[in-house]
Amino acid sequence: MAYGAQFMNSSGGVVFDSSYPALGVIKKQTIASYASQSTTRYLYTYPGSASPIATGVSYLINVPTIQNGINCMPLFQLPSNGDYCGPDSRYGTNDGPITYRSNLSSITFIWVAPMNLLAPGSSAYGVECWDESGALTYSSDQVLFFVRGSLASDNPPVGQTGLAQTTVGSSDWFCMENCHHPMHATGNTGIRNLFPSALRRQSSTIVEKRNNYSGWPNTPNIPASQYRDNWGLHGLASAV
Amino acid sequence: MAYGVSINTSDGFKDIADASSGRVLYVYQIRAVSGSVTVSNFDDTTGFFFVMNRSGQSWNPEFFWDNSTKIFSWGNTSGYYTGNQFLDIYFFAL
């Protein structure tokens, strides 16, 4: 690299490169949900059974993606065992372009955006990095979002009845969004229907991905060609 | 810490091994019903893209990523719904 800084971990992995903006936390807010008209949602049990593990009212939560004039990414927490949340794949609403369904009556979100879209910090300590155009790409003075891992490689299998689980922290933040769910076309040929999958906390260190077998159409059949396995990440905010 | 660099943050010192910041490789704005864009340095086996639908009550288009050609495309191949044409996309390296 011709300028800037790279930080490496003990494995030689690049955990920061000042050529690219890091993620800063813009805002934290708890959003109240509301009961949806299509209330009962089911998550598949594992392995292969259609018996529900979570039923009852599934709340809708409308989540803005613009904060302080910046288009940013929302992340949520699952504070207690059994809590689940997943994106509704139909469309957003006027006040929340991304809609989630959850068993929680309210969910706390944080929003993150690239550091070069944020104002520099005002602290006298720490580290700042700037790219060649003078844009701030990293500031240790900002509240940062640290990526701890991907939720990508362990999705439920295409057969839709599966469960996959990922080791996480008890206070990790999660990002899931509807655009990685395959489309349905004119029938049961995809899972872009209502609430196709969710992330559910199993324990303080494990979250599960589960597919939803109820909804419209009733039993989405996911073609392998449409399946997307790259649709989530988790991590920590440095201080929120 | 036995090696490396730690960073002083508002939450105390953080070892960079636990502080991968998630590098934003590219931010792209969709402003058409269909199209494509090349994101040469993105790899979906080690990265993640996040699509923000900026319009309420609008369907997302269908998204496709070809990790060999590095072409990201969107459109409506199902013929069922016409997707929104006002979306922003973050491409990350994790």
With beta carbons less than 8 A apart as the criterion, state whether A151 and A78 touch. no
Query: Range with the lowest mean pLDDT among A3-7, A16-20, A54-58, A111-115?
Result: A54-58
Q: pTM for the whole thing?
A: 0.81
Interchain contact, B47 vs A230, CB within 8 Å? yes
Q: Which whole-number Å values give the CA distances from B57 to A18, A101, B8, B42, B75, in the listed order?
A: 37, 16, 43, 30, 17
Interface test with B, best of A100, A125, A145, A146 (most B CBs within 10 A): A146
Query: Range with the lowest mean pLDDT among A39-48, A69-78, A141-150?
Result: A39-48
Interval A26-44 mean pLDDT: 72
The verdict on A150 touching B (C-beta cutoff 8 Å) is: yes
The verdict on B16 touching A (C-beta cutoff 8 Å) is: yes
- What are the residue ranges spanned by the domains of chain B? 22-93
Distance from CA of B80 to the nearest CA of A (A): 6
> Is the ipTM of this structure higher than 0.85?
no
- pLDDT for A28 equals 93
Q: Which of residues 22-61 of B touch A (CB under 8 A)?
A: 22-25, 27, 44-45, 47-60
- pLDDT for A198 equals 78
The nearest alpha carbon in chain B to A185 belongs to B78
Interval A172-179 mean pLDDT: 79
Residue B2 scores a pLDDT above 70: no
* Residue A47: band (very low, low, confident or very high) from pLDDT cuts 50, 70, 90: very low
Interval A68-96 mean pLDDT: 77
**Phi and psi at residue A149, in whole multiples of 5°?**
180, 170
The verdict on B5 touching A (C-beta cutoff 8 Å) is: yes
* Residue A188: band (very low, low, confident or very high) from pLDDT cuts 50, 70, 90: very low
Give Cβ neighbours of residue B42 (< 8 Å, ≥ 6 apart): B25, B26, B49, B70, B72, B91, B93
Q: Which of A22, A177, A179 minimises the CB distance to B21?
A: A22
- What are the residue ranges spanned by the domains of chain A? 6-22+114-144, 25-113+147-179+197-216+225-237
What's the pLDDT tens digit per position in B44-84? 777 778 877 777 666 677 777 888 999 998 887 655 566 77
Distance from CA of B32 to the nearest CA of A (A): 16
- pLDDT for A215 equals 43
